[in-house]
Structure formats: C-alpha cells, structure tokens
Amino acid sequence: MTKRKYNRITPADEGISGAREENARRLRGNGLGQLWIVTRARRTSTLEDILFHVDPQGFALQIRGGLDPDEIIGWFDSHSEANQIALQELYRAGATS
C-alpha cells in the first residue's frame, strides 16, 4: 500500500478566503489591528449594544453572525471618537439607559 502525499493548501489556493486573509494581514500591517464600530441605536439600546471593537477576523464573524452592514454608522480607530458618536446616537434614538 502506497502512502498518499497531501499538499498543504495555502491562502493563495483558497481563492476568496485567501484574499480575506491577505486583507486582514494588510490591516494589521497598517496598524489597524482593532477597529471600533458604532451601529444604529434603538430606544432600548445601551452603549454596549452599539459600540464594540473587533479585529478583522472578528468583524468577519460579526457579519456571519447577522450584523447588517447597513446598520453600521461608523468605523473608528479611536475609542474616544467612537464613544462620542455612540453617545450621540443613543441620544438621537431616545435611549433611556
């Protein structure tokens, strides 16, 4: 019986997922390891509901988990700027918490 030799799949062989990995590498290389995202608020939203930070892979998971890109108000590399925008969004939505 002969052993089969399996080639290792590289990101270049994976097509789209390989391109995603390359984009994630570029973002990390440019110092954008984490992004702060602010989404639309509802009347019952809290700050934790609409403001969160992700790395590129975490963002992909958020999208797969149901985050609608149309609900995103902004992407920020600064927590203080994202926090300010999120508080304004909560005020606009009339959130009471």
The ranges assigned to domains in the chain are 34-97
DSSP letter at 33?
S
- Residue 82 gets the label, from left (phi > 0), alpha (psi -120 to 50) or beta, of alpha
Is the pLDDT reported for residue 73 higher than 60?
yes
Mean pLDDT of the chain: 78
How much is the pTM?
0.65
* CA pair distance 28, 39, nearest whole angstrom: 23
Mean pLDDT along residues 32-43:
87
* CA dist list (Å): 34 to 40, 58, 82, 94, 97: 20, 9, 12, 29, 27
